[in-house]
Structure 1
Amino acid sequence: MRYAYALSTALLLGGAAATLTLNQPAGAQTAQNEPGTISASAPRAGAPMSFADMVGKLQPAVVNISTTQRVKVANVNPFAGTPWEGIVPQGQGGPTTQKAESLGSGFIVSADGYIVTNNHVISAGNQRGVVVESITVTLPDRREFKAKLIGNDTVSDLAVLKIEGQNLPFVKFGDSSATRVGDWVVAIGNPFGLGGSVTAGIVSAVHRGIGQFDRFIQTDASINRGNSGGPMFDLNGNVIGINSQIYSPTGGNVGIGFAIPAEQAQPIIATLMKGGAIKRGYLGVTLQPLTPDMADAFGVPKGVGEVISDVKAGEAAQKAGIQNGDVVVRIGGKDVTPDQTVSHLTAGLAPGSRVPFEVIRDGRRQTLNVTLGNRPPEDQLRQLDPADENSGPGAGDVDSMAAASLGLQVRTLTPDIARQVGVDPAMQGVLVLGIAPNSDAAGKGIQRFDVILSVNRQPVTSAADIARIVTAAKNAGRNTVALFVQRRGQGQFIPIEIPR
């Protein structure tokens, strides 16, 4: 993926501290590293007898990150104008506030205290109304520092922090493009708040597409809640990924974890460290996957391309002559596939770039040169068009049987909606689109775009399913129901009180 900013490796490797290297086999040549970098031995043929030497050198640079947040909730009834309008008391004045905390991992990338982590670790998903009051970084030697947020990027889920320190241990990035399926990797982090923990496994897949832009390294190295933002190392002691998500029906590790590749993260991190803004190319279209039936109808090959279903007036696509019904098959010489989508390829190009788009129109191939625009912020995209190429689903056709008894407004999760919010299109459940501010669901942290998979361990695919299960629980004399909620690839049970 290419970005519209230069990679500054000097920023990632500066500072002076003691050089740490691992023991190497006899006769091996020691790599010359910049002062302060932590490194392991030269590549080995297979796994070592023990990871202990490697972990002992790397672990001092892996930190725990905790935040204290204040959530401001406006006293607005999301069900105004519906039969459930009365579920939220009115006339209570200004906004209410709730306190929240988050816990995750990170790693130091410079001797003077720059730290990389996930954006969701320090921003609660970047929700509107969430104010981060403080960020605390705890080193393995138990030293604590107050951290400053230098920059963050919602789309890539990356953030850079800074603590005031000198001669700190730090690690460096490696070449994730050389990572192969079957390579050994080691993950270090702070799962479940237990403190520094180490797991090892192999790479299960590379360039695994989950959301619009994400192309993850998949691994079976155990990654759990709290590992987010921690590093994934190769056997040379280099960071090749940033642990970010898991896929789990239980909320714990089941051998499917995802890390942001270093090649994708490095240019973003370098830009954030310099105080720059992340800019991405923007086409201005609505897209549909090219299903086998649609491929047959359009007379195009299966498995390659995406269909343009809407072109935004005045945006780059319209200016270049792209039309509804065009099937985009190549961008800048790269094939459009389920792993390399139009959104993914476009966002990796600089605004202002002039790029050839190869499309199939009425059975004939033609090339259109598109000068890309600048991708608007996420909230602005959703306001412009809830079905935009790069945004989440809108609430225009929310299930009319909103789960009002729990203070939730939901919608059946379809494959198209799942793709828009970056979850598995095969997932079945309901998508949360609104939460009554004073409800127990809001107090327990239910968020917009959470996916509810089950209630009381019974699968749900509609608001009617939720209402049926809640009614049955109420009739049985229960005071709560257990929602199994998936967020950013992590699942958890959340008990919600049943209003009486």
Structure 2
Amino acid sequence: MSLSYRTNRKIKLAIGSVSTGLVLAFASLAGGTVQAQTPAATAAVPVLSVPDFSAVVEKTEGSVVNIRTTETIEARPSMGPGTDPYDMFRWFFGPDFVPPGATPGPRQRGNPGTPSVPGPKERTVPRGVGSGFIISADGYILTNNHVVSGANGIFVTMTDGKEHKAKVIGTDPRTDVALIKIEAKNLTPLPIGDSRSLKKGQWVLAIGSPFGLDSTVTAGIVSAINRDTGDYLPFIQTDVAVNPGNSGGPLINLAGQVVGINSQIISQSGGFMGISLSIPIDEVMRVVAQLKEHGKVTRGRIGVQIGPVSSEVAKAIGLSKAQGAMVSNVEEGGPAASAGVQSGDVILKFNDTDIKHWSDLPRIVGATKPDSNIDMQVWRRGKTVTLKVKVGEMKPTPADGAQDQEPAPKATPADALGLKVTAVPDLVRAKEKIKGGVQVTAVEDPAATAGLVPGDIVLVVNQTDVTDPEQFAKLVSRLPKSQAAALLVLREGQTQWVPVTPGK
């Protein structure tokens, strides 16, 4: 049998452009020969091969360590000589259980007439395993905070089998970074890379101890940069196989440099499912500098609660694009309040750094030294305003209490937005420290579909402050029917912009 050029052409038309090697293989399997060559016009397809990672592994794996931890737990005495045989019954029936034939008397531990049983004892048990890597020749090691948190013993095993007891220098739960140290000299640290230079599609390696299997190497590519998961940091997303026990190990580029700390997996089963998250090493090293010097991390704060700016809200309030961080609440007496920040402001720039996404602001403010005087640019009522804010130090704040309510006056009829409103009660006005606004008493569409509920307080319509129900009714009556209006709504101490398109 022979395979002519015409037949070869039909095959190419049927299945698309194929390589000459594939046609040759097909002809060979058919027992024939190819009588004509592929046209010279066919462009050669470049062949890409998977890199050989052995040189990188050989250079770096000696600096990656296994970390095992222990904890102390309370242990109940076992049933045996000298213990109370009726202790199990007291576990089910209560401490006043009296064994058959015994005379009830003063409550004591153990069977009446027998010596008291000693109380529960403590014992040390294995807690978990993780990974880490050496960052200095004198024994400093980086890992995750969740690897060492709650442990009473931390043991580091090197690739040569030597085990060292480690002490915690400092931890930062917010970024999940921990700095520990062992007593050792002349160690080989891993070189620190630049996570900001990473690009999607680049090869990276993970070395660690998944399920306790130390010095395990896996490879993959960078899937995404600055992955926002709602946590404090933007993560490096990869498809490198990372499993329990890899936590705290390094993410390494092909130059043998650390570009991240493997920290989390996104999984429905608890095992690897193709999405792994690593902490960028640039963020980590900023934390390390403070942990080394102070044993803790000090961050800046300005005392605002923020949210995203949607494209609809941006258009309604006059922003050219959806960017910045919308201020939903300003802490009373905080740095932002002292600087004049108001609820509904959109923070566009902090210390000459653009806020492209709302989650950028906490990281930028947190990295600012407390007591620094910073220029902050906000969008307010259709124009930019520059404010001077003195950055404070981040501290936990108590939760706000519930609002006190008082009977409200009669509500207005439903308007074009589907809202019935009334004047804000004096008690609520004093509690929320607001001067104007109207309180929603009933909601119909389109406001109901937009998410408004009774009890909400409308403070601003587009660029105009709301003063009372009468003025609010006039504002609503003048709104274009086909354009969304931006309502600044206060709910349970938080403000947010809500776009609502008036009904016809």
1:101 corresponds to which letter in structure 2?
R
For the 8 Å contact 1:209–1:339, the answer to whether it is kept is: no
For the 8 Å contact 1:71–1:100, the answer to whether it is kept is: no
2:215 corresponds to which letter in structure 1?
G
Q: Please name the residue that 2:338 is paired with.
A: 319
Are 2:148 and 1:148 aligned?
no
Match of 2:66 among 64, 67, 71: 64
Question: Aligned partners of 1:66, 1:359: CA distance in 2, in Å?
Answer: 49
Q: Please name the residue that 1:277 is paired with.
A: 296
Q: Please name the residue that 1:331 is paired with.
A: 350
Question: Aligned partners of 1:157, 1:70: CA distance in 2, in Å?
Answer: 23
Q: Which runs of 5 or more residues in structure 2 are unaligned?
A: 1-47, 75-93, 97-118, 403-504
Are 2:242 and 1:219 aligned?
no
1:204 corresponds to which letter in structure 2?
S
| Residues 1:287 and 1:386: Cα distance change in structure 2 (over 3 Å) | farther
For the 8 Å contact 2:202–2:222, the answer to whether it is kept is: yes
Question: Aligned partners of 2:178, 2:191: CA distance in 1, in Å?
Answer: 16
Are 2:119 and 1:117 aligned?
no
State the identity %: 42
> 1:345 aligns to what SS in structure 2?
helix
| Residues 1:49 and 1:293: Cα distance change in structure 2 (over 3 Å) | closer
For the 8 Å contact 1:203–1:220, the answer to whether it is kept is: yes
Per-residue deviation at 1:163? 0.8
Per-residue deviation at 1:292? 4.0
Alignment of structure 1 residues 8-407 onto 2, 5 Å: 49-70=51-72, 101-123=127-149, 130=150, 132-338=151-357, 340-376=359-395, 380-381=396-397, 383-384=398-399
> 2:363 aligns to what SS in structure 1?
helix
Per-residue deviation at 1:70? 3.8
Q: Which runs of 5 or more residues in structure 1 are unaligned?
A: 1-45, 73-88, 124-129, 388-500
> 1:151 aligns to what SS in structure 2?
strand
1:105 corresponds to which letter in structure 2?
S
2:253 corresponds to which letter in structure 1?
D
Question: Aligned partners of 1:90, 1:217: CA distance in 2, in Å?
Answer: 54
Question: Aligned partners of 2:382, 2:186: CA distance in 1, in Å?
Answer: 63
Per-residue deviation at 1:118? 0.6
Q: Please name the residue that 1:77 is paired with.
A: none
Q: Please name the residue that 2:414 is paired with.
A: none
Task: Compute the TM-score of the two structures, normalised by the length of structure 2.
Answer: 0.58
> 1:111 aligns to what SS in structure 2?
coil
Alignment of structure 1 residues 398-477 onto 2, 5 Å: none
**Which structure ranks higher in relative contact order (CA pairs < 8 Å, sequence separation ≥ 6)?**
1
2:182 corresponds to which letter in structure 1?
I
Question: Aligned partners of 1:272, 1:334: CA distance in 2, in Å?
Answer: 26
Question: Aligned partners of 1:188, 1:362: CA distance in 2, in Å?
Answer: 52
Per-residue deviation at 1:49? 4.2
Q: Please name the residue that 1:411 is paired with.
A: none
| Residues 1:302 and 1:49: Cα distance change in structure 2 (over 3 Å) | closer
Question: Aligned partners of 1:371, 1:90: CA distance in 2, in Å?
Answer: 59
Question: Aligned partners of 1:71, 1:326: CA distance in 2, in Å?
Answer: 51
What's the CA shift string for 1:173-217, capped at 9, x where partnerless?
Answer: 112222211211111011122222101111112222223420111
Per-residue deviation at 1:363? 2.1
Per-residue deviation at 1:355? 1.8
Question: Aligned partners of 2:164, 2:238: CA distance in 1, in Å?
Answer: 31
Task: Compute the TM-score of the two structures, normalised by the length of structure 1.
Answer: 0.58
> 1:180 aligns to what SS in structure 2?
coil
Question: Aligned partners of 2:344, 2:68: CA distance in 1, in Å?
Answer: 48
> 1:222 aligns to what SS in structure 2?
coil
> 1:147 aligns to what SS in structure 2?
strand
| Residues 1:348 and 1:95: Cα distance change in structure 2 (over 3 Å) | farther
> 2:154 aligns to what SS in structure 1?
strand
Question: Aligned partners of 1:47, 1:206: CA distance in 2, in Å?
Answer: 24
| Residues 1:164 and 1:249: Cα distance change in structure 2 (over 3 Å) | same
What's the CA shift string for 1:249-271, capped at 9, x where partnerless?
Answer: 22221221111111111121132
For the 8 Å contact 2:300–2:394, the answer to whether it is kept is: yes
Q: Please name the residue that 2:485 is paired with.
A: none
Question: Aligned partners of 2:280, 2:52: CA distance in 1, in Å?
Answer: 25
Per-residue deviation at 1:169? 2.8
For the 8 Å contact 1:106–1:115, the answer to whether it is kept is: yes
Per-residue deviation at 1:96? 11
What's the CA shift string for 1:235-287, capped at 9, x where partnerless?
Answer: 11111111111112222212211111111111211322234431111011122
What's the CA shift string for 1:420-453, capped at 9, x where partnerless?
Answer: xxxxxxxxxxxxxxxxxxxxxxxxxxxxxxxxxx
Moved over 4 A (4+): 46-49, 94-100, 384-387
Question: Aligned partners of 1:386, 1:223: CA distance in 2, in Å?
Answer: 42
| Residues 1:118 and 1:342: Cα distance change in structure 2 (over 3 Å) | same
Aligned length in residues: 317
> 2:152 aligns to what SS in structure 1?
strand
Question: Aligned partners of 2:222, 2:390: CA distance in 1, in Å?
Answer: 37
1:57 corresponds to which letter in structure 2?
K
